[in-house]
Amino acid sequence: MKVVLERNLDFKQFQNLIILTFCCVMVLLVMLNSLQLGSYVYGKVALFLFIILFFALLLTRKGLYIKNNNLYTAIFLFGLVLKGELLQTAEDDGLSVREGKLSTSYNYSNRRRGLNNWEPNLNYSVACFTINMIDEKGDFKKKIIRLTKPEKVKIAIDFIIENLSLKYN
């Protein structure tokens, strides 16, 4: 049983990877149209493989799956598990959700103090929800998954409660 929840990359990573993929596609098209077919074959093949890899990274999603009554967090590509990580669960464990901010900042260096006034603020933050495993006392035990959409959090919690003996607090 598995549930695929949301995109594996945050917004800025997704945006930067789209730009990089577009640039690589343009360079490959220029190489294919302007050079002889036999020249720079290894460069063309390598660039084509990078483009395939970038598209695959753009399409990866994160989620949860259960195998042999064990909970795994996973990265999926077209519903296939690329990477899974086992989470040790016990019967007296519970679930909790913490709300916070997921922030990425691309700050410049502070070497040139006079230019800091003109530097743009590249900080991007979004609300996030972290599903945690807690023990019977309510103490933090382990992070399960971090999601950005509240409806996906509900789907993940329902999936875990239905398939395992964990309870939601």
User: pLDDT-based confidence at 114, cuts 50/70/90?
Assistant: low
Residue 105: band (very low, low, confident or very high) from pLDDT cuts 50, 70, 90: low
pLDDT at residue 8 in the model: 85
> What pTM was estimated for this model as a whole?
0.72
Mean pLDDT of all residues in 140-152: 84
By percentage, how much of the chain surpasses pLDDT 70?
83
Residue 106's pLDDT band (cuts 50, 70, 90): low
The full set of domain ranges for the chain reads 2-108+116-168
Q: How far apart are CA 117 and CA 163, in angstroms?
A: 54
pLDDT digit string (tens) for 43-87?
888 999 999 999 999 999 998 888 888 888 899 988 888 888 888
Average pLDDT over every residue of 11-15: 82
The kind and range of the H/E element at 124 are strand 124-134
Higher pLDDT, 114 or 131: 131
Would you give the DSSP letter of residue 39? T
DSSP, residue by residue, 50-82: HHHHHHHHHH-EEEEEEETTEEEEEEEETTEEE
Top-confidence range, 49-63, 108-122, 127-141: 49-63
**Span 153-157, average pLDDT:** 88
Mean pLDDT of the chain: 81
Task: Give the model's pLDDT for residue 121.
Answer: 62
Residue for token digits 């992070």? 143
Hey, what amino acid is at 127?
A
> Any alpha helices (H) in the chain, and if so which ranges?
11-34, 41-59, 150-163
